[in-house]
Amino acid sequence: MRRGLIILPLLGFIVVASIIPGLLPRKGRPQTHDMAVFVADNGVHTDLIVPLRGCGEDWTRLLPQAGTPDASRPVTHVAFGWGARDFYLSTPTWDDVDPVTALKSLLFAPTVLHVESIRGTPATTMDVRRVWLDAEGCHTLARFIRTTLAPDRQGRAIRVDHPGYGPDDTFFEASGRFSPFRTCNTWTAEALAAAGVTSPLWTAFAWGVMRHLPQPDDSPRTSP
């Protein structure tokens, strides 16, 4: 009984301690409208969506080769998501979640970068936010994504031997370890902070990223 009285307040403290940093903003700087990027939230995980070409990067070399070109719907953007390797590769949908694999992903697991082709400029919604960057922020964000990749000895990105979830996505070996202290959403927040965008002081959760981003009506409806 006494043990329970100790453990319950401790768990409550841990929960509160993990929420508070997500509420506190790490202030960004004023940005000019040089380039629009997007942050997508599926309720649990966040992705960064950037133009196919821009910010000094051409991401075409990272795109999956199996996708069938569609002249009527060309690839315009690329989505990047960072996460635990085994969990990412074995969980194309939430119905495929394996509790054992999920638990292992919390134990400082190796990581991959998920890369997906996006056809058409994303529509802004509460789950997909547009973020404007100036030239400096744009290049910094691209560099952050690039340095997440774990290259081979020749400096080339290492494609993971995995079919992906469909014809338009693939995985690459990534740097860093996944843990309760650095999740997919922590990675997104770090990327935005590096680019000068207001982001949470720290968060493990998708809501912690999204709550600091502009509402859909706060930005113009056209992208450069």
Q: How far apart are CA 82 and CA 95, in angstroms?
A: 20
Q: CA gyration radius for the chain?
A: 18
pLDDT tops 60 at residue 70: yes
User: Residue 79 is inside which H or E element, if any?
Assistant: strand 75-84
| 211 vs 65: which has the higher pLDDT | 211
pLDDT averaged over the chain? 86
24-49 as b/e: b if 16+ CB within 10 A: eebebeebeebbbbbbbbeeebbbbb
Domain ranges of the chain: 31-211
Q: In the beta sheet, which residues pair with residue 53?
A: 58
Query: pTM score, two decimals?
Result: 0.86
| 99 vs 223: which has the higher pLDDT | 99
For the chain, the residue count is 224
124 close to 215: Cβ distance less than 8 angstroms: no
Q: In the beta sheet, which residues pair with residue 115?
A: 80, 170
pLDDT in tens, 87-101: 999 887 767 777 777
pLDDT at 176: 96
pLDDT tops 80 at residue 5: no
Q: Taking Cα atoms as reference points, which of 36, 200, 188, 183 lies closest to residue 118?
A: 36
Highest mean pLDDT among 2-11, 65-74, 91-100, 181-190: 181-190
In terms of C-beta density within 10 A (0-12 exposed, 13-18 middle, 19 or more buried), how is residue 197 classed? buried
> What dihedral do alpha carbons 67, 70, 75, 76 form, nearest 10°?
-170
